[in-house]
Chain A
Amino acid sequence: MNGFYSLWTKPSGVGAGREFAMQDHELACLLLSVAAYEEYNGRTRLYADKKAGAFFMERGLEDIFSRGMEEFDVPEDIDPGVFWAAGKLCALKLEDMPAVMIDTDLIIWRSLGRHLRDKSVAVIHREELNPAIYPDPGTFATRPGYSYPRGWDFKIRPANTAMLYIRDKDFRDHYVEESLRFMHNMGPTDDKLCPMVFAEQRILPMCAAERGLSVYSFVPSMEGLRGQDMFTHIWGHKNVFKFNMDERRSFVKRCMLRLKREFPDMYKKAAAVPELEEYAACEE
């Protein structure tokens, strides 16, 4: 099963005097994710915009993705501050189906094949419809002329897309089209969360229901995320890594040791990267 990642640098403020750079914990996690996916599931590709692509090329990391890197971008009229994950949707649009979309801070430790055999759409888990995050769509200040499809059921629980499997191109096209249509038609807003998660996480299951497809969840409840042994998602914890150097070093060290132990080829690449070279001497 092919997998793909995407990196769109605009939301990180790159360009306004800042150069794009992944930090050590981000890079270590991504390298481990790619290595694990290629080991247990299939070939990977990175969709990267110019700046992200240059970052990987400069470090000799362009060939860690066995299907290579592909340059992509996001339409100019999509606000990167509001729709910071639009890159994922634009990358999804370019990928051949079936495929698995993987966040750069997600690691998949086991084969997905058996689970996905008869599935049309799959995610790790669903979300609760909490109005603080998922408000009534009628409250979004969309542009005149935009309307939600009549077939959408707003009571459907959102789906977390840190990992997303889609089998059919037709459904992929439908989802991406509706998601991008919403983004294009969103008026000016300061809300940095709700419109994005609507476009990404609510439109997906509503589109699926519209087409009579069910969305499979690997982990039925949030509670179940605790004990499972299939996925590592750094998620909000990466913010602790940003300000707590002890935790951060410990994490990167663990990633490097895991690479060294199980994915020696990737480890060699990692050890040569300036961001990670100080960890190359780490011992168990």
Chain B
Amino acid sequence: MAGRFSWLDRIEGESVRAYDKRINDLAAFHSGYAFLSYENYCPEFCAFAVYTVWNHEFNHKLANPLPDGGFMMHCDQKRAEEMCALGHGFPIFVKLISKLGRLYVESFALADKDVVYDLYFNGCEVKPPEGHVFYGNETPGLMPVASKEAVPYAAAGSFRTVMGSYRKAGFHKGSFLKGSYRKGAFGTGSFRGGSFVAGSYFGGKYGLGSYLRSSYIRGSFRGGLSGSYLSWFFGGGSSYRLLFGAGSFLRSSYIGSSFPGRYFLTGSFYNGSYNRGSFIYGGFADVLVSSQHSDGAKASEPAGNVHEEFVMRRLIEELGYGLDLI
């Protein structure tokens, strides 16, 4: 497994410009798995908070190593139920770009047989799907993390086991976050709903989505995504091309034959019901951790003793403030 992603390194003698070009011309490729559970689905907004497990060798080559949570995707309720019922991980494909020799992810996509869903990072909270045991070495290394072979077939008893790095791979690295605060935004609890603030609390009254849908967020970002970026982002057919890098995704040998057919891009999928502004800051914003089971029963009640001011603080911390002043 070691060296699987060594082709992402700069070749000896390769200039930064040549490296950037080589990476930017790459097709999207398989880099990890997404795990879905209905606990992390919000029927109201047709949105999943997605739990991700990345291949470590790949992840540690990035300028910003990817977290295990914070991603969202949209799909309708029927499909959500079907995907949850399947119970296995779904491959995630990434399109990389390189800027000045540093690797970033341009776009993420989750592949489900013949359908590809966009994944977006918005920092939403996610709970580790129940019934899965994620274990492995916490030390970054060349673990066979979430390899194609390991995920679907490693079922053992009532637990599906995934060789992988656990928790600290993402946002717990001390060096990873800078600034005045860290834990509130990217501690384990923030994405997993675990230790920091009860996830159920945010899944309830103070769900991230409900906060983000407030006038604050709209006010904060008004006009932020108008203009050319939106144009290409929502530009119908062209949006596809740009999102996946000049059609390279389709030509990819990885999936060219495996995933023909329908491609639900989030933008076009919701084009009819959301205007541009509300999609970006509605669509991103509308992700929250659902506290509903599929039978409609509440998974848990909001913890009543969490101080509202603290909740407010945490949410403001995650969003920043005064961004509309720029």
Measured CB to CB, the residues of A under 8 A from B are: 11-13, 21, 23-24, 32, 80-82, 84-85, 103, 105, 107, 109, 127-128, 130, 132-133, 160-162, 192-193, 197, 200, 221-223, 225-226, 228-240, 242-247, 249-251, 253-255, 258, 274-275, 284
Contacts and interface: CB of A to CB of B under 8 A. Distances in A.
A284 B122 CA distance: 26
B322 A243 contact: no
Contacts of B325: 107, 109, 229, 231-232
Interface of B: 63-64, 66-67, 70, 97, 99-100, 102, 104-107, 120-123, 171-187, 196-197, 216, 219, 224-225, 227, 229, 233, 280, 284, 307, 309-310, 312-313, 316-323, 325-326
A32 B176 CA distance: 24
Contacts of B104: 245
Contact of B179 (A103, A107, A245, A284): A103
A257 to B, nearest CB: 9
B179 A238 contact: yes
A236 B317 contact: yes
Contact of A243 (B64, B172, B178, B309): B64
Interface centre among B67, B184, B186 (most CB of A within 10 A): B184
Contacts of A237: 318-320, 323
A81 B100 contact: no
A11 B174 contact: yes
A203 B183 CA distance: 19
B323 A193 contact: no
Given A225-B321, A228-B322, A236-B319, A192 B67 contact: no
B307 A193 contact: no
A251 B182 CA distance: 21
A193 B316 contact: no
A235 B67 contact: no
B105 A243 contact: yes
B307 A130 contact: yes
B179 A235 contact: yes
A193 B182 contact: yes
Contacts of B99: 24, 275
Contacts of B310: 128, 130
A107 B186 CA distance: 23
Given A81-B174, A226-B321, A236-B181, A246 B307 contact: no
A97 B175 CA distance: 30
Contact of A253 (B64, B227, B309): B227
B67 A243 contact: yes
Given A12-B175, A107-B326, A234-B320, A244 B122 contact: yes
A85 B177 CA distance: 11
A235 B312 contact: no
A36 to B, nearest CB: 10
Which residue of B106, B173, B313 has the most chain A CB atoms within 10 A of its CB atom?
B313
A236 B184 contact: yes
A21 B104 CA distance: 14
Nearest to A16: B175
Contacts of A32: 326
Contacts of A239: 70, 123, 171, 177, 185-186
Contacts of A228: 321-322
B285 to A, nearest CB: 11
26 contacts: A11-B174, A13-B176, A80-B175, A109-B322, A128-B309, A128-B310, A132-B196, A162-B180, A192-B182, A222-B313, A226-B321, A228-B321, A229-B322, A233-B320, A235-B317, A236-B317, A236-B318, A243-B105, A245-B104, A246-B120, A246-B225, A246-B280, A250-B224, A253-B229, A255-B326, A258-B326
Nearest to A244: B121
Nearest to A219: B321
Contacts of B177: 239
Nearest to A163: B180
B22 to A, nearest CB: 18
B166 to A, nearest CB: 15
A234 B323 contact: yes
Contact of A192 (B64, B172, B280): B172
A161 B179 CA distance: 10
B107 to A, nearest CB: 7
B225 A245 contact: no
Contact of B106 (A127, A238, A245): A245
A123 to B, nearest CB: 11
Contacts of A238: 179, 320
Contacts of B326: 32, 107, 232, 251, 254-255, 258
A236 B186 contact: yes
Nearest to B63: A23
B182 A245 contact: no
A238 B322 CA distance: 13
Contacts of A197: 181
Contacts of B197: 132
Contacts of A85: 180
A133 B321 contact: no
Nearest to B97: A245
Contact of B180 (A13, A103, A255): A103
